[in-house]
Amino acid sequence: MATTQLIIRMDEAVKANLAKLAKALKLLLRVGEIALGYPVEIEFAVNFNKNESQPAELTILQIRSMIPPDKYHDVNIENIDVNKVLFYSENALGNGVIRGIKDIIYIKSESFQMSNSTRAVSQIRKLNTKLMEENKPYMLEWYRVEWDHHQLMNEISQLLSDLLSPYIDLAESCFVTYQAAFQDVLGINPHNVSKDDLIACTEKAGLGNVLDKEEHRDRFLELLFSHKIEPVLGKEGGIKRGIKEEKNTDKPCICFLYNYPASQAALAKTVLESGHLIAERFEVFINGMELGNGFHELNDSAEQKARFEADNRFRKALEKVAIPMDERFLAALDYLPECAGVALGIERLLMVMSRSQDISEVIAFPFDRA
């Protein structure tokens, strides 16, 4: 009986652009090391497309940290009395020792009441200040309380600069108001421009047939923004207001667009500024791509309910179905402390790091292959 030999061939890999594969793997190893705190090893699979015009598919099967021998400890958890430990988890990967932490600050979830959140924040701040003054390392669960969107933008600018600087040469971050962007690119003030002038502006931009004239004026602002302004935000040679013109203007930058019209506040606070009611929110862009969306968080349930009701009145006028009122969300808002928050798109960050043109290139299981 004849036997069949299995031959593993690497000719497809050799014919493919191995430099691109090596670059992708290097990026994954670096991201994994940042996330897990140690160098990592990965198990992956690559599907090379026979059609050379189509990209190869890289799938991550497994990733784990490579803990140095002197950091590894064989722990027999069967001999540990869980009633005598502060924290434990029934689902964990790997183990290790962190020495030097002497203090742990935590809130007892079983006795904590939402109505006491503001007082708890004040108490944690005092402990935080005391430990910092004594130069003691500690573990603390935190979020950005008593910050506004300007403070958060500055922190996000530093975070993104640190993350992206190894992969892309960036100019100094720039901060541009929504009004300044519209005036620079389209010559209109978005806060007081009439709807007729907005319609005329869309027609001049070749977008006159996209929206019905009965649509809300914000839809026209959004249309102009997405086609004429967003593509140049943070882009080489794009809007650079907020930085010195003679300094690195030939490089892309981290661009923050902030102070939107109050009608686009969503979940953000509003404030009167230069005669206009504006929303204290921001978005961050690089090379014309949005990376994140942040708010100076609204914590007034009556105001938020009024916004929901106004949205539903407008939907009703357009014969659209009303959105049910989220009463539980509204009830929780009054206990939210003063704070600012932001959501960053991890896949979009990976796109910038890897200079990818399509988000499916950085997702292990994109929708078309899920």
30 vs 291, residue with greater confidence: 291
Residue 242 has a pLDDT of 41
pLDDT at 212: 85
3-state SS, residue 43: strand
Residue 231 sits in a domain whose CATH number is 3.30.930.10
- What is the predicted pLDDT for the residue at 122? 64
Q: Taking residues 80-90, what's their average pLDDT?
A: 70
- Identify the CA nearest to 258 among candidates 340, 180, 156: 180
122 and 153 share one domain:
no
- Average pLDDT score over residue span 305-318: 89
Domain closes at, from 119, 140, 161: 140
208 to 172, 187, 191, 211, 212: CA distances (angstroms): 36, 18, 21, 7, 9
Shared-domain flag, residues 197 and 344? yes
Please indicate, yes or no, whether residues 236 and 278 belong to a single structural domain of this protein.
Answer: yes
Looking at 26, 48, 70, the residue that finishes a domain is 70
- At 244 the pLDDT is 35
Better pLDDT: 268 or 357: 268
CA distances from 148 to 145, 154, 177, 193 (A): 9, 10, 15, 28
What's the confidence (pLDDT) of residue 146? 84
More confident residue, 281 or 89: 281
When the pLDDT of each residue in the chain is averaged and rounded to a whole number, the result is: 78
Which residue segment(s) compose the domain that 82 sits in? 77-140
Note the pLDDT of residue 101: 63
Residue pLDDT, tens place only, 39-76: 888 888 887 777 767 777 888 888 877 766 666 666 66
Phi then psi dihedrals of residue 359, to 5 deg: -65, -25
Residues 259 and 365 in one domain: yes
Quote the percentage of the chain above a pLDDT of 70. 70
Question: Are residues 210 and 288 located together in one domain of the fold?
Answer: yes
* Shared-domain flag, residues 64 and 189: no
Confidence label for 154 from pLDDT (cuts 50, 70 and 90):
very high
CA 310 – CA 301 distance, rounded (Å): 14
pTM: 0.61
Check residue 138 and give its pLDDT: 52
The residue with greater pLDDT, 34 or 45, is 45
User: Residue 238 has what pLDDT?
Assistant: 63
pLDDT digits (tens, 9 = 90+) for 178-215: 999 999 999 999 999 999 999 999 999 999 888 888 88
Other beta carbons less than 10 A from residue 15's beta carbon: 10
Strands (E), 203-275: 255-261, 270-273
Q: Give the count of domains, the chain.
A: 3
First to last CA, the chain: 42
| pLDDT higher than threshold 80 for residue 128 | no
**Span 221-252, pLDDT tens digits:** 999 999 999 999 998 766 654 433 434 457 88
Domain co-membership, 216 together with 132? no
Same-domain check for residues 93 and 201:
no
Cα 197 from Cα 199, distance rounded (Å): 5
Span 265-304, pLDDT tens digits: 988 999 998 889 999 999 999 999 998 889 999 999 999 9
Taking phi first (over 0 means left), then psi (-120 to 50 degrees means alpha), and beta for anything else, what does residue 94 get? left
What's residue 255's pLDDT?
Answer: 94
**Which of 6-10, 186-190, 341-345 is predicted with the least confidence, judged by mean pLDDT?**
6-10
Q: What is the predicted pLDDT for the residue at 39?
A: 82
Residue 109 lies in a domain: yes
Does one domain contain both 156 and 292?
yes
13 has a pLDDT exceeding 80: no
